[in-house]
């Protein structure tokens, strides 16, 4: 059962109720039926669709049905969950969840860890070929492009620290920016650019930290990365999650939700994630 065969994309800025109204009785059944788990997702890649297809397949003999609402605006899935329009959602990491709860005086909670999508450092290119094949080859005074938005810039700087290029005066889930660099022995020129332009900058820089969505869009082979963000205390905040309301275990759908978690956290789904994401996503349960 393909995701998009159930619901179309929710319009930007609209709550899932807009989609549910269009679907009428089907969603009404899902709202009241303990065997139906309503899952909120962002409009996802073929890889995301493949893993949920496998989850559904594993649930076929468990008496559990999944209904989906897809969104195109990151501000909406948690609102829909908080309002009870979905039973769980699957689109965010700890950092996003914690910030959303803080900003909205809410208490949505992580109920399962799913996968980690490591950031990667890619070599600059010249005449269509990578300038470097190993992170150790990056020279002094090299120019490195990183995303300029607050969250991704912080993550990129922690990656550069893990690679041994810089040292920061912050750690853990504290956001870092260029002013937090206290040691830069190679005198790197760290260039802040729009995240969507990091891949395009590969022809004019020595290396770039590129968000994985833009890696795929640019046709870059993830296996060519010269450094991969390691799992650490700094990176756990980027673990992706299944999220529910705080009191979800008291709901009449608790057992069905637990079955969804169990189906997701299987070797079968692990294999689908690893193969369909080209290794970009690492299962972490």
Question: Strands, E, within 139-260: which ranges?
Answer: 143-147, 167-168, 181-183, 189-193, 207-210, 227-228, 239-244
Length of the chain: 285
- What is the gyration radius of the CA atoms in the chain, in angstroms? 20
Return the closest-CA partner of residue 195 out of 210, 216, 178. Answer: 210
Output the CA–CA distances (angstroms, integers) from residue 177 to 29, 60, 98, 190, in the order listed: 48, 48, 20, 11
Tell me: the pLDDT tens digits for 98-152? Answer: 989 999 999 999 999 999 988 999 999 999 899 999 999 999 999 999 999 888 8
Are the CB atoms for 191 and 144 separated by under 8 Å?
yes
Q: How far apart are CA 172 and CA 26, in angstroms?
A: 44
Q: What is the pLDDT of residue 150?
A: 85
pLDDT bracket for residue 168 (50, 70, 90): very high
Mean pLDDT, residues 180-206 taken together: 96
Domains for the chain: give ranges and CATH numbers.
3-117+236-283 (3.40.190.10), 120-228 (3.40.190.10)
Q: How far apart are CA 171 and CA 225, in angstroms?
A: 24
Beta-sheet strand order (sheet of 189-193): 189-193, 143-147, 207-210, 120-123, 227-228
d(CA 137, CA 124): 12
Say which range, 13-22, 57-66, 209-218, 226-235, has the weakest mean pLDDT.
13-22
Q: Cβ(176)–Cβ(146) under 8 Å? A: no
Query: Which tens digits make up the pLDDT trace of 17-55?
Result: 333 333 333 444 688 999 999 999 987 678 889 999 999
**Judging by beta carbons within 10 Å of its beta carbon (0-12, 13-18, 19+), is residue 101 exposed, middle or buried?**
middle
Those residues with Cβ within 8 angstroms of residue 283's Cβ, 6 or more apart along the chain or in another chain: 114, 115, 269, 270, 273, 274
Bridge partner residues of 191 (DSSP): 145
d(CA 224, CA 278): 12
Q: What is the mean pLDDT of the chain?
A: 88
List phi, psi (to 5°) of 117: -105, 100
Q: ∠ at Cα 191 (189, 197), nearest 5°?
A: 150
* Mean pLDDT score, 261-284: 93
Structure tokens at 274: 């690893």
Contact 124, 207 (CB under 8 A): yes
pTM of the model: 0.74
């Amino acid at each position: 059962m393909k995701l998009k065969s159930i619901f179309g994309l929710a319009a930007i800025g609209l709550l899932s109720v807009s989609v549910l109204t269009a679907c009428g009785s089907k969603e009404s059944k899902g709202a009241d039926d303990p065997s139906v788990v309503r899952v909120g997702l962002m409009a996802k890649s073929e890889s995301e669709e493949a893993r949920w297809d496998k989850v559904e397949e594993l649930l076929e003999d468990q008496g559990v049905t999944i209904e989906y609402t897809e969104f195109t605006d990151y501000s909406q899935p948690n609102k829909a969950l908080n309002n009870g329009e979905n039973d769980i959602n699957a689109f965010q990491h700890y950092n996003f969840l914690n910030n959303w709860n803080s900003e909205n005086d809410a208490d949505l909670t992580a109920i399962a860890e799913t996968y980690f999508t490591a950031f990667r450092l890619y070599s600059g290119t010249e005449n269509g070929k990578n300038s470097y094949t190993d992170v150790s080859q990056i020279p002094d005074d090299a120019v490195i492009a990183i995303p300029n938005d607050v969250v991704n810039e912080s993550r990129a700087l922690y990656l550069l620290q893990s690679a041994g290029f810089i040292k920061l005066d912050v750690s853990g889930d504290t956001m870092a920016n260029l002013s937090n660099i206290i040691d830069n022995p190679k005198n790197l020129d760290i260039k802040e650019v729009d995240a969507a332009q990091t891949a395009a900058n590969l022809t004019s820089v020595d290396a770039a930290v590129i968000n994985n969505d833009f890696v795929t869009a640019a046709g870059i082979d993830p296996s060519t990365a010269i450094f991969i963000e390691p799992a650490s205390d700094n990176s756990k905040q980027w673990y992706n999650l299944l999220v529910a309301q705080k009191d979800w275990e008291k709901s009449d759908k608790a057992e069905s939700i637990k079955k969804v978690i169990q189906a997701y956290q299987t070797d079968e789904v692990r294999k689908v994630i690893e193969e369909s994401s080209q290794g970009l996503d690492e299962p972490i349960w």
